[in-house]
Amino acid sequence: MRGIQLTKLPWTDVPAIEDITDSLPKKGNWDAKAKRWVVQGVWDGKTYNKGPRSPEDIHTIVIHHSGPPNGTIKSHAEYHARKWGCGIAYHMVIDKGRIYQTNDLLSMTYHSGNNNTYTVGICVNRDLSNSEMTDLERKLLYSAILTVKSLLPITNIKGHRELPASATACPCTSEDRIRKDIESLEEQIEYLNTPSAERVLSYAFAERINDLGTKFNDIKWGVPAKAKVMQLAVVMEQLGYTGEVTPEGIVKRVRDIYNNSAMAKYEDEGFKKLLIGANKAKEVGLL
């Protein structure tokens, strides 16, 4: 599983995942290395794994922090390559405002002692023993977790220190908070995927544009209101608008679509058009 794409998230400002697996320093390939098939800390003394795992083998995400000294993804890869003869051990890394994929999700890597057979490792590249994650780091971590959960049969999210026989303080942050936040986000995503939620969003968009339109003649708010509405210009053709695009024209078109959607004959068509506008409005911060 390489080149993975972000799953549907309750926010739109997370940059695409960048796969840098092939550009990192390495001495060998994880899938070519024969590794003990240790099941949750227990090895049967004979079974080795070579090649990628099956998706059904993987049910746990393990959260790490890189710890001291603060290094780069490249320096961690160099260290791991020297230590284990392959490459970086983490599957994904949160670093400097981005999410990086650093291994195939199906590759069995050495990120969690005797708990690598069934896990995917996600690392925040910072020493969290000195300070908590920033809001951005947390958002990126949660985006990575939700994406992996959308691709694999994940049932557990653990901190490195929570695994059997793990003598470490990693990741030095609250795993309970992470699990609770992910559960809440999944509930939001489930709601956002329902038709009723989309209709609420589309009609909220119509109300927002109508409200901005009422401010056009206001001395204080008229100019900024028009500027906000003009951010929708790029989707007006999709909303069936023809002619020169103006703030007044945009508001009128949205009002017309909204009014027509109250008629059963045009309800579905109007809803779909309003949803296009609503998604653009969310993208530019109008909703």
The string of pLDDT tens digits covering residues 39-55 is 767 787 888 888 899 99
**Where exactly are the structural domains of the chain?**
18-192, 195-283
Burial class from Cβ neighbours inside 10 Å (0-12, 13-18, 19+) for residue 141 reads buried
What is the pLDDT of the chain when averaged over all its residues? 89
Show the DSSP H helices in 152-266 as ranges: 175-192, 195-213, 222-230, 247-261
Task: Output the pTM of the full model.
Answer: 0.69
The span from the CA of 238 to the CA of 264, in Å, is 21
d(CA 227, CA 232): 10
- Asked if 281 contacts 259 with a C-beta cutoff of 8 angstroms, the reply is no
- Please give the backbone phi and psi of residue 10, each rounded to the nearest 5 degrees, phi first: -80, 15
Q: How does residue 133 score in pLDDT terms, banded at 50, 70 and 90?
A: very high
Under CATH, which number does the domain 18-192 receive?
3.40.80.10
User: Of 129, 138, 3, 123, which Cα lies nearest the Cα of 64?
Assistant: 123
In the chain, the amino acid numbered 193 is N
pLDDT above 70 for 115: yes
Residue 90 CB contacts under 8 Å (≥ 6 apart), including other chains: 64, 76, 102, 103, 109, 111, 121, 122, 123
**pLDDT value of position 262:** 62
